[in-house]
Structure formats: structure tokens, C-alpha cells
Amino acid sequence: MKILPSEITPYTNYLNRRKFIKSSIATSLVLGTSTGLQANHASNQNIYDNQLDENDSLNSFEEITTYNNFYEFGMGKTDPAENSGDFKPKPWSISLEGLINNPQVLDLEKLLQKVTIEDRVYRLRCVEAWSMVIPWQGFPLAEIIKIADPLSSAKFIQFETVFRPEEMPGQKRRSLPWPYVEGLRIDEAMHPLTILSTGLYGHDLLNQSGAPLRLVVPWKYGFKSIKSISSIRFVDKQPDATWPMLAPSEYGFYSNVNNLVDHPRWSQGTERRIGEFKRRKTMMYNGYEEDVSHLYKGMDLKKYY
């Protein structure tokens, strides 16, 4: 799916729309939001607005959708935008599996009629020391967890990306073990900052951005944001995740942003915001320390990186 420049929500219009959402009761009437998001748009759930500094500004739609890591479409930053045209994100379903009371296959379109889609502005910090500020739309992952109704023995969740090498040319190569998998602890997954995103800038996710559904965990590095999710599996032990399996000395399961621990091949002390030249100081937990540090109390953050 391609979006014409004339269809892209300008900065000022988007920001004005968000202000309207915060003050209006009738937010379902807001224009410019994609069809799948209109009916159930949140009215006043802006718990994230105080997370951004005064010098944080939104990256442009073009920056967000043309500079991506999505190896199913290629290893270069521009490959996802260039090579994802044949991917078909509709219709879509998500399989709920594992240690749960309600295993099932969810139709995404029907699910989106039941959940509340919220505006969220989150930083995205990548391990390669670059970052963005992205206006997401999505809903709390906790809503799907409630549908699944996990057993008390379920301590972790594993996510899996769809495997369609005929549509995702990167999967025809052995650059990574396919399909891509990622995981969270249950309490991380239930945290109100953790969402499943369905769009950004008021539009449905483009293919290169993880259509139609991707994970967003703002205090973790971007490679935890698994895209095009096809299954969610509840397990009792820490599950496999692609990058820790591939390079365990460089990528840990938790993958929390820790500016005090460097990656073996680059510093994590600073980052470059896409669209800027001057480097910024990286913040612990990507700036969400007050909200999430209690999840890791007593843990050795160098050992459990």
C-alpha cells in the first residue's frame, strides 16, 4: 500500500488533532485517522505526553517510513520501503497459543472493533545508536492477554512474525533464522506503556513499518519491536528471541536501554536522532525510568542486558 504525499498528515495538523483529542469528548469524529481506527479512538488517555522533553520533536512521516530495520525485506535501511510492495497485510489473523485458557485464532479486523485505539508518542531507540520520535496508534497488549486468559504457570510471552518468503524476499536468504521471534516477561507485556501498534501519524501501518500489527515497548531497543505478528505464545520459561540466539554476546533477552553498558561494537552513551546532526545523551530506559525501573529491581542490569 502506498500513501501519496497529499495524504500524509502534516506536523501541525497532527499536533492540532492530538490537542483536540485530549480536550474533546467526541473524538470518534476526528478526521484524518485511518478507517480502522475511527470507531474506537481513545478520548483522554495521554499518559505518555509527559514522557517527552521540550526538545523532543516528531520525526517526519517520510523519515519514519523510509529508514527501517525489517530484515524480512532486506538488510539495508531503505530495503523495507523498496521491497515490501508485494506483502499483503489484509486479511490478517493472530494465533493465541500455549499456556492459556482461551486458545484461538483472532481475526484482526474484528479485534480492532473491540479494542480502544490510542494515540501514543514514543521514542524509538535502536541499538545502532540512532533514534526517532514516532506518533503511534495502537492498543495495550494487555487487552489481548486478557482475551487469552493465561494460566498461572505462564511467565513469558513469545511473538512470531509471519513467514511468507514469496512476499518477503529477505526470508529467502539465510541472513537470520526465520521466522523472526521475540519475547517479553508477562509483567513487561502487561505494562500500560506496552502496545500493539496498528498505525502511525493517523494512517494504518505501511508494510515497511510492520503492517498490520507490531509490538512497541518504548523502554527497550527497537529490535524488540517485532513486526507483522502472526502468533502470540504463552510459555513458562524464557523463550527464544532471534537476536539473542544469533549473537548472545551482543544482544540480551531483556534489551533494556542502558546508557551505562556499551554494545561491543559501539557506545550506547549517545545517540543520533534521525534528521539531526548533533548527538544526544542516551537516557536510562530510553527516558522511561520512572515508569519501568521497578520491573527490574534487584536485577544485575549488566548480566541481564
Give CA angle at 268 (50, 253), nearest 5°. 85
The C-alpha atoms of residue 222 and residue 239 are separated, in whole angstroms, by: 18
Kindly report the pTM of this predicted structure: 0.88
Regarding predicted confidence, which is higher, 16 or 52? 52
What is Dmax (Cα atoms) for the chain?
51
Say if strands 118-126 and 181-185 run parallel, antiparallel, or are unpaired: unpaired
pLDDT at 1: 53
pLDDT at 18: 53
pLDDT at 56: 86
Percentage of residues in the chain with pLDDT exceeding 70? 83
Beta bridge partners of 140: 195
Q: Is the peptide bond prior to 218 cis by the omega test (within 30 degrees of 0)?
A: no
- Number of structural domains in the chain: 1
Per the listing, cell 541481564 goes with 304
pLDDT at 83: 98
User: In the structure, how many helices (H) and strands (E) does the chain have?
Assistant: 9, 12
Q: Determine, yes or no, domain membership for 45.
A: yes
User: Domain residues for 140?
Assistant: 5-296
pLDDT at 10: 60
**54: pLDDT strictly greater than 90:** no
Q: Determine, yes or no, domain membership for 22.
A: yes
Q: Is the peptide bond prior to 179 cis by the omega test (within 30 degrees of 0)?
A: yes
**214: pLDDT strictly greater than 50:** yes
Q: Determine, yes or no, domain membership for 302.
A: no
**98: pLDDT strictly greater than 90:** yes
Q: Determine, yes or no, domain membership for 191.
A: yes
Q: Determine, yes or no, domain membership for 233.
A: yes
| Among 146, 85, 90, 79, CA closest to 116 | 146
Distances (CA, A) of 291 to 12, 54, 215: 29, 19, 18
pLDDT tier at 32, thresholds 50, 70, 90: very low
Model confidence over 259-304: pLDDT tens digits? 999 989 988 999 999 999 999 999 999 999 999 999 999 999 999 9
Distances (CA, A) of 71 to 162, 176, 301: 13, 8, 28
Mean pLDDT of the chain, nearest integer: 87
Q: Determine, yes or no, domain membership for 76.
A: yes
What three-state secondary structure class fits 274?
Answer: coil
Q: Determine, yes or no, domain membership for 141.
A: yes
Q: Determine, yes or no, domain membership for 245.
A: yes
Eight-class DSSP state of 25: S
CB neighbourhood size of 281 (10 A): 8
pLDDT at 39: 32
The C-alpha atoms of residue 3 and residue 75 are separated, in whole angstroms, by: 23
| Among 99, 187, 190, 105, CA closest to 150 | 99
Q: The domain that contains 17 carries what CATH number?
A: 3.90.420.10
First to last CA, the chain: 37
User: What's the grid cell of residue 126?
Assistant: 535502536
pLDDT tier at 24, thresholds 50, 70, 90: very low
Mean pLDDT of 217-235: 97
pLDDT at 160: 98
Per the listing, cell 512497541 goes with 216
pLDDT at 11: 54
| Structural Rg of the chain based on CA atoms | 18
Length of the chain: 305
Mean pLDDT of 29-34: 32
Show the beta-strand stretches assigned E in the chain. 93-98, 104-107, 118-126, 130-140, 156-161, 181-185, 195-200, 203-204, 214-216, 229-235, 270-273, 280-281
